[in-house]
Amino acid sequence: MPEPSLRISGVAGVSHHQLFLFDARTGIEDVRRPSWREGAGLAAAEPGLLALCTGIHTGSIALAVELWDGAPPHEPGWEDVVEVPLRVSPGELRVGLLLEEPPPELRVPLPIGGPRCRARVHATGRDVDYDCAASEPVEEHLVRLWETEVEDPIRVLRATSGCATWRLGR
């Protein structure tokens, strides 16, 4: 059974509803406006980049990122869950924010052999302070990453928040 090989967690600052995971060759200057529609408004991927969309516009969220040695089991209790394919350069992924450096506990690099990964992104609380500024974390995000041989399409596994259903046009 697959197991996590690395877990980092902490409180991440969010700006403009976004935070990112970058590979070693991608930087904040490479960020284009992601298309949020396919991933229930929760996650979007470009080569070298995984973008996460939060409910809050600005403020803090609780974030955990795990690196797994295979596809992880499904974890119940999350409002929104999306899987996205991710192409990365071999090396490492790191948490990136738009306007500030992540806190030290979120600066730990995640070693990736690449070039294909899968990311399962979980979120809860995106409706609590939607489009507002939150000084304390009101939402939680969990990202589980694992390397894969195939590039399956985006899959929405659960979309129960108002934020997700609005993005899906339901």
CATH of the domain at 97: 2.60.34.30
Range with the poorest average pLDDT among 34-48, 86-100, 141-155: 34-48
| Rounded mean pLDDT, 31-58 | 81
- pLDDT value at residue 61: 96
Q: Which two tokens stand for residue 149?
A: 């041989």
Closest CA to 96 of 78, 81, 110: 110
The DSSP bridge pattern shows strands 140-147 and 58-68 to be parallel
**Does position 32 have pLDDT exceeding 80, yes or no?**
no
pLDDT > 90 in the chain, percent:
60
- CB-based contacts of 57, cutoff 8 Å, min separation 6: 14, 15, 16, 17, 131, 132, 133
How much is the pLDDT for 97? 83
C-alpha 84: how far from chain center: 10
* Contact between residue 128 and residue 55 where contact means Cβ atoms under 8 Å apart: yes
Expressed as residue numbers, the domain containing 112 is: 4-168
Phi/psi at 109 (nearest 5 deg)? -70, 145
Mean pLDDT of the chain: 88
Residue 111 falls in which region: left (phi positive, over 0), alpha (psi -120 to 50) or beta: beta
* Residue 145 · residue 116 · CB < 8 Å: no
Instruction: Give the pLDDT of residue 34.
Output: 62
Give the count of domains, the chain.
Answer: 1
The answer on pLDDT for 170 being more than 80 is no
Phi and psi at 46, nearest 5°, equal -130, 165
31: pLDDT confidence band, cut at 50, 70 and 90? Answer: low
Q: How far apart are CA 61 and CA 124, in angstroms?
A: 10
The total of other beta-carbon atoms located within 10 Å of residue 90's CB is 12
Strands 49-53 and 58-68: unpaired
